[in-house]
Amino acid sequence: KLEAAPPGSKPIRTRLGPDKIPEPSKALNDRVALLRGDITTLAVDAIVNAANRSLLGGGGVDGAIHRAAGPELYQECKGLGGCPTGQAKITNAYELPCKKVIHAVGPVYDPIHHDRSEASLVSCYIESLKLAVKNSCRTIAFSGISTGVYGYPSRDAAPAALSAVRHFLTGHDGSKIDKVVFVTFERKDVDAYDEAIPLYFPPV
């Protein structure tokens, strides 16, 4: 569901200036969706976990994914040897309804080095999409990487995520992805996406 921000809503900080709002495209808008709910219930090709560098599970969405996937996910993750920040690794999904789990390691938000945090966050989205393509996953659902315990402000994270996904979908391998679902859980993230989506995927 893609709708324009309500009139009078506050401007948000984005990587594209107000003069750089991209050309509206129905075909492109149809390939992204916003959903509020539990990512573990989605029967997409791949879900993206907001993992930590150990890849051995944790709280938040990571814990929910490991609980729903069952102990075999932990066993597979143990063999991966962790993952650096800004990168991603892929596993099977076991008891989950999706086919694969992509474990992306977002940055712990550092307001002093905002640009570095943003580069890592953008990299998580791009690397996850590349892994999806490599593994023939055409539908992918992202959790809000870094916007929980890692403290990335939702109003900055949503534009970075949307900008990265738009960049990928319009790029070389973009046609190999049919649908990107942004999964939000908390109100703050719903609001951030509601505001930012019309800037990156303007209504036609």
Q: 94 CB contacts (<8 Å, ≥6 apart)?
A: 69, 70, 72, 73
Ranges of beta strands (E only) in 40-152 are 46-51, 88-92, 100-105, 139-142
| Nearest residue (CB) to ligand ADP, 2 versus 190 | 190
Q: At what angle do helices 60-69 and 71-78 cross, to 10 degrees?
A: 110
Minimum distance, C-beta of residue 139 to ligand ADP, in the bound complex (Å)? 16
> Least distance from C-beta 8 to ligand ADP, angstroms?
26
CA angle 23, 25, 28 (to 5 degrees): 120
Q: Which is nearer to ligand ADP, 28 or 181 (CB)?
A: 181
Residue whose C-alpha is closest to residue 141's, from 193, 87, 98, 171: 98
Q: What is the CA radius of gyration of the chain?
A: 16
Nearer to ligand ADP, 185 or 201 (CB): 185
How far does Cα 32 stand from its chain's mean position? 11
Instruction: Tell me whether residue 62 or residue 156 sits nearer to ligand ADP (CB atom).
Output: 62
Residue with smaller CB distance to ligand ADP, 28 or 162: 162
Site of interaction with ligand ADP (CB under 6 A): 38-40, 50, 60-62, 64, 106, 143-150, 183, 185-186, 189
150 neighbors 187 (Cβ within 8 angstroms): no
Smallest gap from Cβ 24 to ligand ADP, in A, equals: 28
User: Residue 97 or residue 203: which is nearer to ligand ADP going by CB?
Assistant: 97
Q: Shortest distance, CB of residue 70 to ligand ADP, whole angstroms?
A: 16
What's the min distance (Å) between Cβ of 117 and ligand ADP?
Answer: 12
C-alpha 120: how far from its chain's center?
A: 12
Instruction: Report, in Å, the least distance between residue 21 CB and ligand ADP.
Output: 26
